[in-house]
Structure 1
């Protein structure tokens, strides 16, 4: 019951805004979410970061947040690589054993071999397993989370503005840099194109969220009248609602739900294994309390929409990326109670 009472103030607006966005995304022209996205990217989200940072507790330990973010990114990538290599090894081993088997092989042995092949085919065929674009999409889905548009409202609602700085540091100096830095490098390696790297790296440098982060730190020294401060808080929360609305609009455009089982493996790594391992690891190192919960919540976010931008730019497996985004946005409703129960 305590967990349910904690989640209700989050789930009601979260589900409400996202559902409204899904409905509006299906009836409004495509230009509406595009314009809303540009407004939030260039003005809305940077403004909310600057406003909420005024109330955040930015002690020296807050700089642990980007470090934890990078550890989560690298751990997710390592687990994904191990899983891909294991599947490729099993697929190749199964193929070799079937070729070397004598014709007198028993019916039961054939059935076992057929069953193993059928099990592997639920993930990907041996041919697909060797395709670098699919491997690249799977890898990206385990690395970078939606720690901005979704992570911010979750952290603000469940933890409060005081520790919002941990979420901002995790996102701007961790997830964002990882997506358009390491993510672009990996996409160039696994993808079919390599000419868009400068454009995406340029997008990282010009990302207004990074610049607003430093401006917000400076504005903490400026004192506003109480009425102005209250008005700014209202604007910031409205921007959070619009961000969830945009998330729903983007989800409404997703048509493909193929590769669900493949996507669920990547989400299991990104949204379950990584926060579980690092969540207990941080506790062992003495990081506890609400800052610890913020880090776990950010680690448990579904993959970021930046993964789709990168996948399209480098001709990765777009269908797998789209399915992972859609499925992850649903699974987050199931994993949040778990993190509150374990670490809240």
Structure 2
């Protein structure tokens, strides 16, 4: 855990410092690089060492159960506990924060550090076939229901089709069967790890640019659903079904990730409650340092 916190905290803190001194265009450049090259390279590299046998299909299925459970619990809380008093735009951001996690930029390095490369395929399928489609599929539908700016609907759907991570998933599944020289393999792995550390730096840079910390109470409820209740309930359910060891821990870690940056993007496009989306994102990213030991104590056995 100390090593992981040094890696996570060091990368995010470096990004936070750089975000304060570098031009605001730099995170955009880094984000574009990671989107088009860094993350796809990481997917291709780590797929070569990932174990795709057994019940890997459980990962995306669990992802969708977690998404639907998080959204359902958030909606129930709003209706029963809060008497439906919040504005529709606030409801939309609240539900989004409870259902979609940062299972890529943050989830990948966390699971690789704690579990290793063998179960990277589980984390990858959880993200690609779960979180990504959940954010730009169900997330967009909910945003259109609670928000105003429906003009961005087609563009957000288009982002799924052109997402290079999805294309690299298909290529990586084929390429993993092709032997390459050891030097090339090591170089590819080094580039992949470098991209993940750069992703942590980017998270810190984006956090340094957040200015709103309002609506802490609503954010805390949404995060409790997303990062505590859903991972615990589904994690125990998977354990009862016979899922054990690192496969179980990988899925629980992915379920326990803080809200994805996609929730903020969707909130901006559909004119949802941006203040709540920003607060949930920032508080959740810091809260991860508290929740990670919980999942290790409960599910690493």
Q: TM-score, normalised by structure 2?
A: 0.98
Q: How does 1:17-28 map to 2 (within 5 A)?
A: 17-28=11-22
Residue 72, structure 1, aligned to residue 28, structure 2: no
Residue 255, structure 1, aligned to residue 211, structure 2: yes
Q: Pick from 181, 192, 197: which aligns with 1:236?
A: 192
Distance in 2, matches of 1:35 and 1:67, equals 34
Gapped runs of 5+ residues in structure 2?
A: none
Distance in 1, matches of 2:179 and 2:135, equals 35
Q: Which residue of 1 aligns with 2:4?
A: 10
Distance in 2, matches of 1:188 and 1:284, equals 37
Deviations 1:204-231 (A, max 9, x none): 1111111111111010111011111111
Q: Which residue of 1 aligns with 2:98?
A: 142
Deviation, structure 1 residue 60 = 3.7
Equivalent position SS for 1:196: helix
Q: Pick from 37, 40, 43: which aligns with 2:37?
A: 43
Greater than 6 Å deviation, 4+ residue runs: none
Deviation, structure 1 residue 256 = 0.8
Q: Which residue of 2 aligns with 1:297?
A: 253
Q: Pick from 237, 257, 271: which aligns with 1:281?
A: 237
Equivalent position SS for 1:236: helix
Deviations 1:264-287 (A, max 9, x none): 000000000000000100001111
Distance in 2, matches of 1:64 and 1:280, equals 14
Distance in 2, matches of 1:146 and 1:244, equals 11
Deviation, structure 1 residue 88 = 3.9
Q: How does 1:267-278 map to 2 (within 5 A)?
A: 267-278=223-234
Equivalent position SS for 2:57: helix
Q: Pick from 81, 84, 89: which aligns with 2:78?
A: 84
Deviations 1:106-126 (A, max 9, x none): xxxxxxxxxxxxxxxxxxxx4
Distance in 1, matches of 2:61 and 2:170, equals 18
Q: Pick from 117, 138, 150: which aligns with 1:194?
A: 150
Distance in 1, matches of 2:50 and 2:261, equals 26
RMSD, aligned CA: 0.8
Q: Which residue of 2 aligns with 1:183?
A: 139
Equivalent position SS for 1:162: coil
Distance in 1, matches of 2:149 and 2:198, equals 34
Distance in 2, matches of 1:43 and 1:249, equals 19
Question: How many pairs are equivalent?
Answer: 300
Gapped runs of 5+ residues in structure 1?
A: 1-6, 92-125
Distance in 2, matches of 1:85 and 1:222, equals 54
Equivalent position SS for 2:257: coil
Deviation, structure 1 residue 321 = 0.2
Deviation, structure 1 residue 81 = 0.8
Deviations 1:292-329 (A, max 9, x none): 00000000000000000000000000000000000001
Distance in 2, matches of 1:140 and 1:86, equals 18
